[in-house]
Chain A
Amino acid sequence: MLRYTFKRLLSLLISLAIASLVIFMVIEVAPGDPASFMLGINAQEDTLAALRAELGLDQSKLQRYLGWVGGMVQGDFGTSYQYRTPVSQMIADRLWVSLPLALYALALSTLIAFPAGIYAASRRGKAGDIGVMGATQIGVAIPNFWFAMMLVLIFAINLRWFSAGGFAGWDKGAFAALKSLTLPAIALALPQAAILARVMRSALLDVLGEDFMRTARAKGLTKGQALRRHGLRNAMIPVLTILGLQFSFLLAGGIIIEQVFYLPGLGRLIFQSISARDLIVVESVTMLLVFAVIVVNFAVDLAYAAVDPRLRART
């Protein structure tokens, strides 16, 4: 298990190094000069040069890459070209919205999907299964922004249970903050839950056909006991894979939902920075998201090994 963890960790570091290089190169070759963008088209050439020097844009590419990576390792993400504030501070503010939102949505999605998938699998071909599968079909098909607007219409405008948008802030207390994240989290979670429930169901159905499930039944376990004690853990590998992918998506992919609910999250930050050619912010947020994806995959790899002893043994 130790060697397995070490190997996964090594592959994590290599992935991060490659990702940082790719992000830096792709963004550096993108057209548009941040300095001329910030000063407008009438700027003098010597003012532009001074700003470029201040922003460090006159250094060689290698120096800028090393400076960027070296800074990030120490928690210094540089200074935004646009706002002249530390990028790390901007990211931290936004992360306090996006990370809880992603975790909230993931928790909702899991809480809906697991019972629904297990229920559908245990009632295969019967009315309950067909009902759950029909509902997930709709959940997969409906775009989440439409769903978000419907939630606003019903729960914010008609029922007035929640506010239609904006973020209360953590300084108003956890309840108020979570309350303002609830509708966005539901809008994000439902399509994900629909996918996860379908994966859970088909993984369980595959396992139900396995010989060891028959052994479990021959032991005297009821269908339900056999499913819970022997089926679930064997069905977890595909479910964990999807869960890992979903978390990464929820963290970065909430742009539309953040727009609909007017939330100051990472998605909106990246959107605004791209429009303003604020390259340093785009680079840093992208790197952070890549970091999150790679770390989540690392966690999923460890979870695989915890679930399946054969993976521990193979390494």
Chain B
Amino acid sequence: MSLLEISNLSLSIHGTQILHDVSLRLDPGEVVAVTGESGSGKSMTALAIMQLLPDGSEAQGTVILDGQDVTQLSEAQMCDLRGNHLGMVFQEPMTALNPVQTIGAQIGESVRLHRSDLDPAARTEEVLARVGLAGMSPRRYPHELSGGQRQRVVIAIAIACGPKLLIADEPTTALDVTTQAQILDLLVELAHEDGMGLLMITHDLAVVAQMAQRITVMQNGAVVEAGDTPVLLSAPQHPYTKALFAASAHQAKLPEPVENAPLLQVRSVVRDYALPRTGLFSDPGTFRAVDLVSFDIPRGGRVGLVGESGCGKSTLTRAILGLEPVQSGSILLDGMPVYSDGHPNLDVRRKMQVVFQDPYGSFNPRHRVSRLITEPFHLLPSPPKDRDARIAEALRAVGLSPDDAEKYPHQFSGGQRQRLAIARALIIRPELIVFDEAVSALDVSVRAQILDLIAKLCGEYNLTYLFISHDLSVVRSITDHVLVMQNGKIVEKGATEDVFSAPKHPYTQTLIEAAPVLPITDTA
């Protein structure tokens, strides 16, 4: 008998249809993945199993867990089930734990709630060890732990009562690749050794491909295809599945580089941050975020910068943009320093633009597109005469219509907003663009389109850019050269293809090994 059997589950929230006839099956000890892009209904399916749907939800169909239809259970019965036979792990380990309670209290709480036969303290130590945190004091607070450790604690809470089914909703999306690999290994190990069913919800096909026995692909609230992983990967049937695979493995076609003299020269840059004083009169001490970093970007060069969170990527970016002073070394753009006399050098600043990660937070919602994308004009000594023509050109260049100039940002999708962000960067024809995790928040198919757009613009404008990302496959597809950063140092640099095919530094090797890869399939 299946552990979980969802049949014809439909869901509407305040009258809007969210799920259509979703069916899904999972056996004990099995790993089943649900995948799809944002808005496909995969998280709602998980919440329907937990019966933690938002207010105003109406569900039809059955969700049979271990012989019981959870849609028919009372709230009190569901409370007995949740955390006991049904555990759930969420996406954001940084916020999924109560910041004012110790981790021991939070793990012990589930035990006290459901398992009076167990000693909460002893069980807490046991599950901490089980999730690879043996010896971690249960009296520690979440803020004292790293993201990976916190996710382990969240998993410990979920498995504390020995659930039959564990639901993991994007459990590694917020984590670095090496941490992601460890957490995925842990989840699979728990499923195999404890005979738990694991329902894995993720947008990342490469993650799915490595661990799931079966995959269910969802689109717009409906299951479009489901099957055994090897079969589905080698011969996807549904056009959407094929498109998803194609987008995941997408390689943007960069035009041949035309490289010239160096445009950006970074020389032995050091950036220190003062640490809090430990005593009243003691020296505060410093943290070296960027440690003697040197590299060049030639005019027309497309350079990637990869590394895990906390490696100094963002600090280096801020220094390049002239937002902060550096303690030693120099950063020159076109021979001129980016930061001088205590403030960013405006002559240089107008030659650089940046595209940020979050297409939602980086626009003032009350401004129209025409005003948003012309913001960089403030950097020019006098605003250009042909303002409207420049707006139309920038919008056309990024695949939008000049008519969009009078719209507000909320009228655009995430991918379109990222196009707007690129239009904003292009409008003053900068010599250098910094893409700071510019495609990380996007779905795979949108990401593929934006990467194609960047490649196209490379040909039209002979762009020079620094592309910062934690996603190795993206960097591989969109850059000619790559820098690998660890603990504030550049540990490896070289032509992108050389570094990826034959990494020399052990850290680069670890990164590349840890990154999940989608098996190459024939999607034609």
Report A's interface with B, CB cutoff 8 A: 210-212, 214-222, 229-230, 233-234, 307-310, 313-315
Contacts and interface: CB of A to CB of B under 8 A. Distances in A.
Nearest to A218: B88
A308 B276 contact: no
B110 A212 contact: no
Interface string B331-370: 0000000000000000000000000000000000000000
A215 B79 contact: no
B100 A222 contact: no
Interface string B79-95: 11111100110101001
B79 A221 contact: yes
B82 A218 contact: yes
B90 A211 contact: yes
B113 interface: yes
Q: A211, A229, A315 — which one has the most chain B CB atoms within 10 A of its CB?
A: A211
A218 B113 contact: no
15 contacts: A211-B96, A212-B99, A218-B88, A220-B80, A220-B81, A220-B83, A220-B113, A221-B83, A222-B76, A233-B100, A309-B99, A310-B99, A310-B143, A313-B141, A313-B144
A315 B97 contact: no
B52 interface: yes
A234 B96 contact: no
Nearest to A220: B83
Nearest to B102: A309
A297 to B, nearest CB: 21
Contacts of B52: 214, 217-218
B276 A215 contact: no
Contacts, number: 76
B50 interface: yes
**Main SS at interface, chain A:** helix
A219 B110 contact: yes
B211 to A, nearest CB: 22
Contact of A219 (B75, B109, B143): B109
A220 B79 contact: yes
Interface in B155-170: 157-158
A315 B96 contact: no
Contacts of A219: 82-83, 109-110, 113, 157
B154 interface: yes
A309 B82 contact: no
Nearest to A217: B52
A9 to B, nearest CB: 12
A218 B100 contact: no
Interface in B89-130: 90, 92, 95-101, 106, 109-110, 113-114
Q: B75, B90, B98 — which one has the most chain A CB atoms within 10 A of its CB?
A: B98
A217 B82 contact: yes
Nearest to B111: A219
B82 A210 contact: no
Given A215-B98, A218-B83, A310-B143, 20 more contacts: A212-B96, A212-B99, A214-B90, A215-B97, A217-B82, A218-B82, A218-B87, A218-B158, A219-B83, A220-B81, A220-B113, A221-B79, A221-B83, A221-B109, A230-B98, A308-B100, A309-B143, A313-B141, A314-B276, A315-B276
A215 B113 CA distance: 14
B80 A215 contact: no
Contacts of B144: 313
Contact of B84 (A212, A220, A307, A313): A220
Contacts of B95: 210-212
Contacts of A230: 98, 101
Q: A214, A218, A310, A313 — which one has the most chain B CB atoms within 10 A of its CB?
A: A218
Contacts of B109: 219, 221, 229
Give 4 nearest A-B pairs by CB, closest first: A220-B83, A219-B83, A211-B95, A220-B82
A169 B376 CA distance: 71
Contacts of A216: 98
Contacts of A214: 52, 90, 96
A100 to B, nearest CB: 33
A301 B102 CA distance: 21
A208 to B, nearest CB: 12
B46 to A, nearest CB: 10
A230 B142 CA distance: 14
A246 B114 CA distance: 42
A218 B53 CA distance: 11
Contacts of B141: 309-310, 313
Contacts of A218: 50, 52, 82-83, 87-88, 90, 158
Contacts of A315: 276
A133 B82 CA distance: 33
B160 to A, nearest CB: 9
Contacts of B79: 220-222
Contacts of B88: 218
Q: B80, B84, B95 — which one has the most chain A CB atoms within 10 A of its CB?
A: B95
B104 to A, nearest CB: 13
A218 B98 CA distance: 13
B99 A308 contact: yes
Interface string B57-88: 00000000000000000011001111110011
A150 B151 CA distance: 57
Nearest to A215: B96
Nearest to A309: B141
Contacts of A314: 276
Contacts of A309: 99-100, 141, 143
Contacts of B276: 314-315
A278 to B, nearest CB: 42
A218 B50 CA distance: 7
A220 B110 contact: yes
Given A212-B95, A215-B157, A220-B81, A307 B114 contact: no
A232 to B, nearest CB: 10
A234 B141 CA distance: 14
A304 to B, nearest CB: 11
B121 to A, nearest CB: 17
Q: B80, B81, B157 — which one has the most chain A CB atoms within 10 A of its CB?
A: B157
A210 to B, nearest CB: 6
Contacts of A210: 95
